[in-house]
Structure 1
């Protein structure tokens, strides 16, 4: 039996707009699970349903063996951090973190100990007396996280908590959240639309699309074996080709499936014909390329079939626009997917 069980969860608004469609999902104790998907796919609604902030139309939610479907929000033992920091502006860091403990009438000495430990875990030592207006966005979000974990919830829910923070601070906070989660062994569900963030953070990812779970698995499984066109387009920026396009590139091969996916980094390009008989090869022209950090992204054209290829940025592997190149793809990197 899983620690959290979603059983046939349905949720609609106004009786028509069905946001969640018979969601069936398990979360194991101590896992950091990510709900990944585009805006409007239902990931935040599912998270809020677990918290009790949304009432589902049908289905059951089980937490640690107990049906909490109709349990009030305050009795579920769940901590939640939102994109907005929602800190009390008239309270300093210590007071913000201690607020919930005081409401719960925890002993003063225990409050002091718990608050100090939470401050240390989120690296805010020295900021105890600072007010929110004196903190950066990243520091305020760390206060919000500390305020949630200090209550020692059964489950920690994070609803796009880093989307309003710049890239550098975002990476630092991703590492801090993951470290704190592992140290506390707290079951955590993280919501994001950012596939890179999901890959970095997660023990397991549930990719959502239109109110259903499109695919579930660990980050490597989702990245290397997408099951559908949507999954391949959303994770990894795959080249998506139908069998006619693939036949255009490789006329001597048979392709019976309707759609195929090929990761850009598995497509090699070189100046000379490819001699390896175990690699599919064909000629193409470089339409253009862009540099992104240490990666060069090439757009290739072969009989009007467009492919994206990615290689590490090395000066001796540069290809010019309009240049003829030889493309190589290993057969196992052409993945059959469903529409």
Structure 2
């Protein structure tokens, strides 16, 4: 992703910033992928610059540190409006965990927006996010993350880094983040939209298998027996081997991972031999295999840097040819944009 700048002074402003060091209050415009000066709700802009149209703040600007612009004063931004169920914000650390979870959602939506998904140009339905916590007023409760009929449940408890690392180790997973959960579950949501597009289902089944196979039985068998010994030859992760639906959601998520890594690298003005040219934009690229190859080579170097600092790999995966083919398929439909089929 390209760096963002302050509309008042031109200085670098990071994606989650509410203010620029110059004193200007800013709001992110998701369709333009730029910051605008924040308005106060009556047409006046905060900060030293003049002449630019002020942006209306999201109604969650104070409550959730949301820096996105709303379509009208007093309204929620596009990202916050998708959340319809909240944890009990009066209990424990739930408010702080919810704020971190919403921040991860905005970052994921920015990447999807590069292909037009969930933007003003997208006429299709949006997911409804149910943000739940295991910490409730009546005691601890179990929260199952997942997607069902347009509703995506996210466990905000995993916004606690210590808790998330503990679960990653308990489940023997090489990677587990809140952004990763969003990418996976949105993959399930968009599968239902893409399945209505001509040609998608037949091509999907030829590559991933028949998603009409009993999902409950497949998951039960996976949890009882684990992944097959040769799962890495066909899937991006062990969990992807459980069922075609999970294979799709994991492949979808890895497209968003790799494009975000390469897009962030190029956006920072960095260069590497793996890039086809210095101004390469993976989100504009037509050839998904080319992006995957470049991102894979870059990740080898970035993993080496992480290891030098004694921390885990940035991208701890090795992609087989079959797994790459599935990522290319997912990218082709993502890049086509909403309703392009």
Which band: TM-score by shorter chain?
Answer: under 0.3
TM-score in terms of structure 2 length: 0.26
Choose between structure 1 and 2: higher strand proportion: 1
| Bigger CA radius of gyration | 1
Choose between structure 1 and 2: higher helix proportion: 2
